[in-house]
Each structure stands twice: as structure tokens, then as C-alpha cells.
Structure 1
Amino acid sequence: MRRPPADMEEARRVLRARFGHEDFLPGQATVVAALLEGRDALAVMPTGAGKSLLYQLPAAMGAAPVVVVSPLISLMRDQLRGLARSGVAAVALHSGQSEVEHGAALAAIAGRRAKLVYLAPERLVGDGTIALLRAAGVALLAVDEAHCVSHWGHEFRPDYARLGEIAARLGAPVLAVTATAGPRTRADIIASLFTRAPEVFVSSFARPNLRLSFRPRGDALGHLTRFLRRREGESGVVYVNSRRKAEAMAATLRGLGFDALAYHAGLDAATRAAHQDAFFERAGVAMIATIAFGMGVDKKDVRFVVHADPPDSIEAYYQEIGRAGRDGLPADALALFDPRELAGRFGFAPPADDPVALGETERRRAMARLCLTPACRFQTLLAAFGEESGRCGRCDNCRGGLLALPRRAGLVALGWRVAVLARFAGAGAERLDEPEEAPDPVAMAASVSLGPEQERPLSVAEERLYRRLLHLRLDIAKRRRLAPRAVASDAALRRLAVTRALDGESVIAAEEFLRMVAEA
């Protein structure tokens, strides 16, 4: 796909004629120029920055076929519809096709009529597919959502890990694009995908129209209803971590007078399509959704994104809040978090020889730190992507000037409390891998393992703490009308007293642990 630099003039002509754009968006032109000269490239650009044009434009200019690896059939279909309007011949190979559609796509590839070929990584790894594409003379291999290549990326997929080997077999230049890749993920993408050093293009992740806010969950429904009341008539997305929660929350909000719809993978296709159409066509719809309502959602006037459950990574958080304010007008992002769940993220220690588990744990902890930071939210968020910035002036930690100091001081105290609670979270750490529910402190208390050191007599300080915990357990049991051992076993309380240093902070943390049981 080697072309002279003068082809950038042709690129602008095709951009106007085929795609209807007067000029490139910031960051696009330099990547396209590199591709037209046959260089490999990694482009990290935020949501809405026009990543798909980077590989569609060279194909429309005649450098074809361009093979696009895409993780979702819905994304392929969406791009095929747009390319049909632009008059660019494109086909896809995926499991949702009929035999007739599949045969027509194969014929278009073999006859070299297809300018773009979309397929999932699972389809590309087959020897027959590789042979077909090699015969067609692939001009560029474009890997969309390239963070899926990396163990450190938030959506690692094993079939993506084979794309480097397949790229070498195809013998074509490689373009990797993603909206969510910090420095470690970028390094992993380069090592996995490229046989030669690519040019790396990283656009700013700043979104000056977004206002970020975080709150301890507490009365989650109260927080949410007050937030939505202030934005009546505006459309937005409320993310939850299970299908059950999506259905229940949507029903509750409808009962309170909101236009709320559920969206998750368990709905039948007709219902999902109807709810998605309503979201795009009606003003004021709140979509209560799991991550199934994700990539490919391109509604320009989304005014808010709420995370009723915090996502597992900063990358996922950034990608999801990026669905708000694509029109450039002000938009809000609110995240509600449970300090107990954040403590669990720090209490979990993965095996040191398991890179997938290490990557997942570090991503969870980075998101927890964003929830708890008393510093500028956007400054902290951008730092996770390797970008330096000043204070944003718009997030909850920046707004209010001196009036914000007590709240920020409260976050410092909350951070210390979470750090201490993390000492007790290891006993239930396995629950962190269950997305449907938050960690259960009752189960944590019941599952504390017993060790030989519990057989020895308690010291005076340990006995004092143990007695305090017994009294607190009794008080909780009376209020909940339970037997004391249904709140926490004697062995669990003894274990807390024996294994923890008995400074004042640990006493408070042990009592806080039991109070969490009372709230569960």
C-alpha cells in the first residue's frame, strides 16, 4: 500500500466525496499518511475520534482489500450499513449469516470486488480463511479494539493473541486501533501484533465537556432518583452489573415515573431492538443496562452515564462514560461505589505467575483508586493512560473551591478505612470474580479459616478485642433478631483478634467489619 505523500490530497478528496467530511478530525490525517506509505501503526484514540475512518479511507482509495478484525457482529453490521451509504464495497464473515450471504461474501473476496472484509478473530484463525485472503492480496490488516490482544487490556480474548502470527502469514501492513490502552497495554499490543516497530499515535484522552462525580453507594436508589430528577427530559445510560439488576431497577424507576428501559444479553432480539430504537428515537429515556449495551452505541446527545456498580477497570469506565456528550455539549458521569467491595479489590492477591489474573487485579485496583482519590478525577484518570494534565476544574473534587475541602478530607479518611478493611477481605476474595453480586460480609465472616495459632491462649490485648467483638456481635444479633453465631462465629471473631495488630485503627476496622454485617 505504498503511495507518494501527494496522495493526502486524494485522501481529502475521497473523504469529502465518499464520506461527506470536509476535513480530517484531529489525529486522523497523520495516521492515514503513515498507512498510505505502507507503515505499521498503533492508534490510540478516544471514543468518537473517528478510528474506523483510518482503515475505511485507504480501502475507498483503492488500497484493497483491507481486512478488519472486529469483536462484535453488531459492530460489523453497523459499519457495513455506513459503507453501503458511502458506496464502498464491503463484506463480512460471521456466524449470523445465512448460507446465501456467506457464499456471496466469499465470492466477493475471491473475485477481489470487496474493498473491506470484516470478520471476528475466531473466523480469521482458520487456515481456509487465511488462504482465501492471501490469494486476494491483503493490502492492510486492521485490528479493531486492539486492547483485546493484551493480558493487561480490560477485554482480553485468547483468539486475539494469535493475530500477530496471522499478520505475519498474511504479509500485510498492520494497523491496531483502540480507545482504551494505557502504557502497559500499548506495550503488550506492540509485542503481540507487530513484527516491526509501528508508529504509535496517542491522542489526548481529555474530554473537557464531561463532569465526573463519585459517591459511596449508601442509598443508591435515592442518589439515582435525585440525579435523574435534575435531568428530566434528557437521555442517558445507567450501568449495572447483572441482568437481574437491570430488570429490577428499570421497573422501579418506571414506577417512580421515569421513562426507563432494561437492556441486557438475556432479552430476546426483538425486545433488545425495540428498546434500542426507543433510546435513539425518544427524548428522556434512561437505559438501565449491562455492558451488553456498549460498543457501537453512537447517540450524539447522551447527557449522562451512571455506574450504579463501578466497572472492573479504568479502561472500561472511560469507554462507557465516552458514550456521553459526543455532541461536545456538557454531560455528566456519576459512579456509585461500595467501600466494602473496593476493600475486597485490594485484599485479593492473585498468583504471581498468572499474568491474566495479575492484569485483572491491577485493573480492579486502579478503578478503586479512582473512586477514592481526593485529587482531580480527570487528572487521575488521564494519568492511568500515561497523559499528564492539570486539574480539570469540573469534577466533584475540583468544584466548589474551599467548600470542597471537607468532602475531599472525607475521601482521605474513607481511603484509610478501605485500606484497613482490605486486611479482612482476603477471606472472601474469591467472590470478587462473581459479577452478579457484591461481596457478602456474612459469608466472609463465616468463611474465615482457622489456623493452629488460634489454639494458643489469647494475650490480654487480644482477649480485650475479642470481648469487644462479642458484645458488638450480640448487639447486632438483637437488632437483626438472629442468633449471635448467625452473624459471625466465635472462631471468626477470635481469628480477627489473634491475627491483627491491636492498634486503635485495627480495633476500629474490626468493629467496622461487623457493622458491615449489620448492613448486609
Structure 2
Amino acid sequence: MASEEVLKLFKIEKLKEEQSAILKCILEGRDCMAVLPTGFGKSLPYQMAVVQQKMKSEDAKKIVVCCPLTALMKDQVDKLSVIPNVRAIYRDGSKETDCMIREGAFDYLFGAPELLVGDSSFREQLHKFSVSTIVMDEFHTIASWGEKDEEDRQAFRRWFSYLGELRSIFPEASLLALSATCTRKISKRVKKVLNFRDNTLEIHMSPDKPNIKVVTKKIANSVDQGMAWMVDALDSIPKTVIYCNSIKDVSKLYAYLTSEVPKSVNYCEMFHSETPKAKKEKILDDMCCEEGLLKIIIATSALGMGIDVPKTNNVIL
């Protein structure tokens, strides 16, 4: 489905079968739910869609992409910004971006559920735009973050469970839902929330990868005892992301590592929801550069899903 000109712009020779099927759905206005492995290139079809449409007509419609995390939005916007004649934005708080959104000066608009459905004044702005496709990136978060947990505690981010309302804002738009980590049980729940049409194309592929090894290890329930092995390896360890459950745990681990190996402050950083925006961007830019100085990122889930970080050898939970 992708023309040779579009493939050249994205510097690829050809699309995989599943990518072609997703792009075909977008261009035909058909709903699609795709569960494909991390690193497969799930975002590529919707990134190509507007470019493909613009080559036929300058009146190409817009695409709204719902993302759970700012880091993920920035990653996608950065990738699209190098494609000629494509305008991709997310609401970053600047007056310039807010003006572009009001004027509809974009091809791709990225936003979190709290903005797209939770902000009533912003919803009024959305009504003015001609949108061909709504993309739900990391759609499994609708169930895992938008619903009450098994102990009936409040949802982590309740507006995720209201994303089906986007269909009422853009009733003619097709829907594309993407995930790498979604069970069929969650898929069924999400289909109801998002009001998928009867002719939805579903693509499911196993997340298993032969080049990835999963290791579990029981460790002592204290930072100094449980992570002593890492101190010994710190100087020679390749690029590593360490995920913690809370900001408190991130801080404790960072303090421990940098006190045991003082020079690690030069290549170790923290990333969580309270990290200043400018510092977040600096960390992400460094991570995504193969020659970056950072080797260890200690983070909460604020450092999100779907970010393309080259040469990351280890992910520790």
C-alpha cells in the first residue's frame, strides 16, 4: 500500500505484511486492533498515512493519537518532524503550540486522555477538525490504568476509561488501537470501551523474541544487600534501565549507587513524574543518542512504553 516515495522518506525498503494491513485499514477508513511485539514498527503505518494521502491531495485529513505518556509523545513527534511537509505536535505548554492547535496547523495531534476527553474546553476545539483516524497507542492501559483494581481502589488514571467518547467527537473517523503487551481478555474489554465496529481487523502476534533473555533472581529485601551485585558491575555495565515502583524507591537506589560509586553521578540519572520537564527532555535526548553519556536510568513508569532507545542491553524491574 505504501508508495516507493513514502518508503524512501522513512528510509525503509518495504513494509512487513502486518504493517501493510494496518496502513490499508487506515487509508480505507476501517477499524484495526493490532497486538505486535515491541520494536516491530507498529507506529509506522499511521506515521505514513498522512504522507501517503498528501501525495494524492493537499486536503489530507488529520490524525489524533492518544498516548499515555509525554515521553512517548515526544519520541513520536521527533520522528515525524524530520519528514518533509508533515506537522506533528503535542501540547507542551508553550504559547506557540497552543496557537498551532487552535488554528489546526498540524497533521498529527498527540495527547493524553486527560487532555483529549478530560478537558472540556479542549474537546470543543477538537470538534472543529476534520480527522480521518484516531490512534490509541498502548491501548492495554485503558484496562490497566483506567479501571478500578481488584481491591476496588480508584483507577490510576480514570480518563482512560472514557476514551470511547472520542468516537462521538469524530463519528466518521476510523480507529487504530496498538499494543505490544495485551492479552485477548483485555482486548475484549477494550473493544467495548472504544466502540469498535463489526468489521474491525484484528492482528495478534506473539511477543516472544529469540534474542531476549528473561532472568528472575531472588534478592534480599534491602537496597544495599539486594543491589550489591550492581555496584560491582557498574563501571562495565552496558546501557541499562532500572524500573522501580515508586519515586521513593528511585531516590533510594540512586542515592545508594552514587554513594557507593561516586563517579557514577556522571552517567546515572533519575526519571519520574516529578523530574523537571527540561531535565526529562535532556535525559531522553541522551538516551536516544548512541553516543550518549548516560548508562544507568533509574525510573518509574513515567519513563514509558514504546520509546526507541538504541543499544539498551538490560531492563531491570
**Same-fold call, TM cutoff 0.5:** yes
SS at match of 1:185: helix
The CA RMSD measured in Å over matched residues stands at 2.9
Deviation at 1:26, TM superposition (A): 5.8
Quick one: which of 205, 213, 216 aligns to 1:214? 216
1:105 aligns with 2:101: yes
Quick one: which of 34, 49, 68 aligns to 2:65? 68
1:265 aligns with 2:265: no
Pairing of 1:407-446 with structure 2 (within 5 A): none
Spell out, residue by residue over 1:442-484, the C-alpha distance to the aligned partner (whole angstroms, 9 max, x if none): xxxxxxxxxxxxxxxxxxxxxxxxxxxxxxxxxxxxxxxxxxx
Amino acid at match of 1:206: D
Contact 1:42 1:200 in 2 (8 A): yes
Distance in 2 (alpha carbons) for counterparts of 1:85 and 1:152: 32
Going from structure 1 to structure 2, the CA distance change for 1:263 and 1:121 (only over 3 Å counts) comes to: closer
Going from structure 1 to structure 2, the CA distance change for 1:282 and 1:57 (only over 3 Å counts) comes to: closer
Q: Percent identity?
A: 27
1:244 aligns with 2:244: no
Normalization by structure 1: what TM-score?
0.51
The structure with the largest alpha-carbon Rg is: 1
Quick one: which of 277, 298, 313 aligns to 2:308? 298
Distance in 2 (alpha carbons) for counterparts of 1:245 and 1:79: 29
Distance in 2 (alpha carbons) for counterparts of 1:250 and 1:202: 38
1:191 aligns with 2:182: no
Which residue matches 1:42?
Answer: 33
Contact 1:152 1:184 in 2 (8 A): no
Which residue matches 2:57?
Answer: none
Contact 2:146 2:159 in 1 (8 A): no
Please, which runs of 5 or more residues in structure 2 have no aligned partner? Answer: 54-59, 148-154
Which residue matches 1:92?
Answer: 89
Amino acid at match of 1:29: S
Deviation at 1:239, TM superposition (A): 1.9
Deviation at 1:286, TM superposition (A): 1.8
Deviation at 1:167, TM superposition (A): 0.7
SS at match of 1:288: strand
Amino acid at match of 2:64: V
Going from structure 1 to structure 2, the CA distance change for 1:228 and 1:255 (only over 3 Å counts) comes to: closer
**Larger relative contact order (C-alpha < 8 A, sep ≥ 6)?**
2
Distance in 2 (alpha carbons) for counterparts of 1:274 and 1:38: 38
Deviation at 1:75, TM superposition (A): 2.6
Please, which runs of 5 or more residues in structure 1 have no aligned partner? Answer: 1-7, 308-520
Quick one: which of 135, 148, 152 aligns to 2:141? 148
SS at match of 1:43: strand
Going from structure 1 to structure 2, the CA distance change for 1:102 and 1:91 (only over 3 Å counts) comes to: farther
1:83 aligns with 2:83: no
Going from structure 1 to structure 2, the CA distance change for 1:187 and 1:14 (only over 3 Å counts) comes to: farther
Quick one: which of 91, 116, 140 aligns to 1:124? 116
Deviation at 1:68, TM superposition (A): 1.4
Amino acid at match of 1:149: I
Which residue matches 2:56?
Answer: none
Distance in 2 (alpha carbons) for counterparts of 1:221 and 1:296: 31
Quick one: which of 224, 227, 237 aligns to 2:227? 224
Contact 2:238 2:312 in 1 (8 A): yes
SS at match of 1:106: helix
Contact 1:263 1:287 in 2 (8 A): yes
Which residue matches 1:235?
Answer: 239
Deviation at 1:210, TM superposition (A): 1.4
Contact 1:27 1:203 in 2 (8 A): no
Contact 2:146 2:161 in 1 (8 A): no
Distance in 1 (alpha carbons) for counterparts of 2:134 and 2:246: 35
SS at match of 1:302: coil
Deviation at 1:213, TM superposition (A): 1.4
Question: Which region of structure 1 is more displaced relative to structure 2, 28-37 or 179-188?
Answer: 28-37
Distance in 1 (alpha carbons) for counterparts of 2:15 and 2:140: 24
SS at match of 1:265: coil
Going from structure 1 to structure 2, the CA distance change for 1:235 and 1:69 (only over 3 Å counts) comes to: same
Spell out, residue by residue over 1:57-103, the C-alpha distance to the aligned partner (whole angstroms, 9 max, x if none): 11111252112122233332332222121124334353x32233212
Spell out, residue by residue over 1:39-61, the C-alpha distance to the aligned partner (whole angstroms, 9 max, x if none): 11111122222222121211111
Going from structure 1 to structure 2, the CA distance change for 1:19 and 1:174 (only over 3 Å counts) comes to: same
Normalization by structure 2: what TM-score?
0.80
Which residue matches 2:10?
Answer: 19
Contact 2:100 2:106 in 1 (8 A): no
Going from structure 1 to structure 2, the CA distance change for 1:273 and 1:163 (only over 3 Å counts) comes to: closer
Distance in 2 (alpha carbons) for counterparts of 1:14 and 1:194: 35
Distance in 1 (alpha carbons) for counterparts of 2:128 and 2:247: 45
Distance in 1 (alpha carbons) for counterparts of 2:12 and 2:268: 35
Amino acid at match of 2:248: R
Going from structure 1 to structure 2, the CA distance change for 1:22 and 1:221 (only over 3 Å counts) comes to: farther
Going from structure 1 to structure 2, the CA distance change for 1:298 and 1:166 (only over 3 Å counts) comes to: closer
How many residues in Structure 1 have an aligned counterpart in Structure 2? 293
Going from structure 1 to structure 2, the CA distance change for 1:38 and 1:228 (only over 3 Å counts) comes to: farther
Contact 2:231 2:260 in 1 (8 A): no
Distance in 2 (alpha carbons) for counterparts of 1:134 and 1:284: 43
Contact 2:146 2:158 in 1 (8 A): no
Deviation at 1:139, TM superposition (A): 1.0
Quick one: which of 59, 66, 89 aligns to 2:50? 59
